[in-house]
Amino acid sequence: MSSWAPLLAFLLGLLLSIAEGNHYEGHWLGQPCLPGQPCVLAFISNNPVVLRCPRSSYRGHITWQYLDPSWTDEQPLTFLRSGGTSWPLFSHDKLQRLRFKSRLIAGTGSLYISSPSREDSGLYTCRAGDATLAYYEVDFQDAERLHVSHAELGEASLGNVTVPLDQGAQATLFTSWSPWQSCNRCGHPGERKQVGFCYAQLTTMDSEGEMPMPCGMARQKYPTLPQRGPELRIETCQVRCVTSYLAGQEEPHWVPFLVFTNYHPQLKATAHLRCPASSIYR
């Protein structure tokens, strides 16, 4: 077998998973995200996500820009663009790493990030010339701090916690839950999942409470804010096998074939095996 075969198999599997998979577009509180308006989103790291660029198909060349909130006196910098083979020059190593894990979804201009890390949190903008089509403040919450609870095992989700901050301020940390995912079986007992994200409600002495924000963003304002991760809770479920349920499910017992290859890690070395189509959101 050619030495290129494992690599080609991996790339083919990855492309199929991107083309066929359901992309997660983030969790927000308050008003839904509107085109051209700032949008605050929370995600969980190491899981693929999509940032949409509305009306980009009518605008010609698209550029995606990024700004780390810790970069002072800098403007958003381009790390990905359509309509050309040349890449922008990167003034930060972080932009280069972000470029290699990102791609544009064909025909939409939307941004696909395959495996975002917590350090990729920041400001993302989609632009066409001088026009800003989308503006996102993104918090990638640490998957390694994920709190998992199963109701049938008597495990509880995290409760609200109020902590004092500097200058008389205080913060209430809580979990904002996304909708329950569908039951994974019909006609028999199954399970369903719900993903939750850490949010902080900040209150100062001279003002009323601010709009809740993802904990990573709140920690930029108050570095002493305690660490708290996202959540995943699981409960049993049972639904009837009706037509509407079956239409939204994959063929029972069918497992997609994505990647088959051999790895030969060194003894006592750390190895990471990833499933290209896997996601906590489905």
Query: Do both 131 and 148 map to the same domain?
Result: no
42, 141 contact by CB (below 8 A): yes
CATH number where 116 lies: 2.60.40.10
> Is there a single domain that holds both residue 121 and residue 158?
no
Question: Parallel, antiparallel, or unpaired: how do β-strands 63-67 and 77-81 relate?
Answer: antiparallel
Looking at 119, 141, 163, the residue that finishes a domain is 141
Q: Is residue 277 part of a domain?
A: no
Asked whether residue 179 is assigned to any structural domain, the reply reads yes
Same-domain status, 239 and 151: yes
Instruction: Tell me if 51 is assigned to some domain.
Output: yes
Total domains in the chain come to 2
The full DSSP string for 195-235 is EEEEEEEEE-TTS-PPPPEEHHHHHHH-TTSPP---EEEEE
159 & 136 share domain: no
AA identity, residue 152: E
Report the pLDDT value the prediction gives residue 18, as an integer from 0 to 100: 39
What integer pLDDT is reported at residue 38 of this predicted model?
79
For residues 166 and 212, state if they share a domain.
yes
Tokens of 201: 């409600």
The answer to the question of residue 270 being in a domain is no
Q: Is there a single domain that holds both residue 158 and residue 236?
A: yes
In a domain, 195, yes or no: yes
Q: What is the pTM of this model?
A: 0.80
What is the Cα 182 distance to its own chain's centre?
19
Q: Are 31 and 132 in the same domain? A: yes
The neighbouring-strand residues paired with 195 are: 232
pLDDT of res. 262 = 74
Domain assignment present for residue 154? The answer is yes
- d(CA 280, CA 282) in angstroms, rounded, equals 6
Residues 36 and 133 in one domain: yes
The answer to whether residues 67 and 170 belong to one domain is no
Domain extent for 114 = 25-141
Domain check: are 69 and 128 in the same one? yes
In terms of phi and psi (left: phi > 0; alpha: psi -120 to 50; beta: otherwise), the region of 107 is left
Q: Among 109, 141, 173, give the residue marking a domain's end.
A: 141
Regarding whether 198 and 156 lie in a shared domain, the answer is yes
Q: Which of 87, 119, 141 is the C-terminal boundary of a domain?
A: 141
Query: Is 86 within a domain?
Result: yes
Same-domain status, 115 and 151: no
Q: Is residue 268 assigned to a domain?
A: no
- pLDDT tens for the 282 residues of the chain, in order: 445 544 444 444 444 343 434 567 777 766 667 665 678 999 999 999 999 888 766 567 889 999 998 887 788 888 988 875 455 566 678 888 898 899 988 878 899 998 899 999 999 999 888 888 889 999 999 999 999 999 999 999 999 999 998 878 889 999 999 999 989 888 899 999 999 999 999 888 776 667 899 999 999 888 989 999 999 999 999 988 887 655 555 554 455 555 566 777 888 888 777 666 667 877
User: Distance from CA of residue 116 to its chain's centroid?
Assistant: 7
